[in-house]
Chains A and B, each alone.
Chain A
């Protein structure tokens, strides 16, 4: 890294800052090519859970579905909300709020006693190693592009449960995205 760029890095660089122009300027000024690698932003799907903003890499999301009628599975693990029929395909739908310590117990959303789901609620159909699985979210925010430099490791206080389903924090502008490992979040 050129000296000038290193200097800039020390003083001005912030992860969420778009500094491409500065790099160009730095490269031009001392006549050497900047060795800062081109950052490839990755796309994440951001969603809300109990008011918090979470995100998963978009490649693990197969589709987003409105909440269909769910059928509860008797005697299943508590975080299994039920099964749903998505265009003829049978999919399990899971709750991850309990795992993330956002709720004490999974909401009753399946069966005859369940109220109709909130308007914004969605089921994210995620690709997992053991087949597709649905995850209940309170609302989908949208797609965000995060560069590796915008990511931080999860602060120790955020770690929840015995397994780490929070892999890091993404910072874009003033918004913080809690990045989830879908596989871990769904593990029973």
Chain B
């Protein structure tokens, strides 16, 4: 398996030899920041394109096909358009909060991406409480949404923001609990340790029934947490026109838009990392030949393929199901997901205690 650790070590030593430790760290941070920013923009643009293509195929349409081959540059054209579009000033809006909201939303998703292990040794920051950090940081986005709805001075926006507040606060619980189930199995909250622990088998196979239930619950709850259909109540275009970002235009709207897709990507990465083995290749017992072939595929490709599989699942949900109502949304969380989750944590703890996992 290709290991990025020597490469990063080498860059580190070169920088430290060339300049003082302070400047070396600053340069390293800059490099990492720029890389993540690039990755962020590219993935965001690609996801928008992918979503449009996926939904088009599901609806017997062609999807974007005019700009570039297969419409690949359509999202770039859209981005340029959004950059050039007028920023409409809103009368009686709270200007400071109105402008601040998109930045909070995008910063939250930007911070979460730092803790995700992309491949062996390719990891911006390997916190020993990685999962906790990701949950905590991604939950910050809701403040941005609430501010956006409040500051817009629009009744639809306010309803949308209030809905999303109720929604994210309750679904945060399920996301956390389903991840805790896996933390019990992994025995660590450090993402790199979790991935290493799956070298002999992904956790979704290792933890069998409770892990599978946790995966489903995580998928449902995280879809709700990212405000995507069928839980897109905060936007609900047929009820609230566009919900909390009704009044936003131009690049500020693009921030919300991009953040939504990146949140989806982050959630899918966490699912891939915790349940599907992150960048670990697919191994079967002692089929050495098969395992060797699987090892040949680079870990970054494994990571991307798994993440996009989860992303595809989420898109599939969105383009199939009608939207829930706000009270049904909360019923689903408090009457179904939460009890299931609690029982599931118990079962998982018991299984780990008895050593019944693989």
Q: Is chain B a partner of chain A in the same complex?
A: no
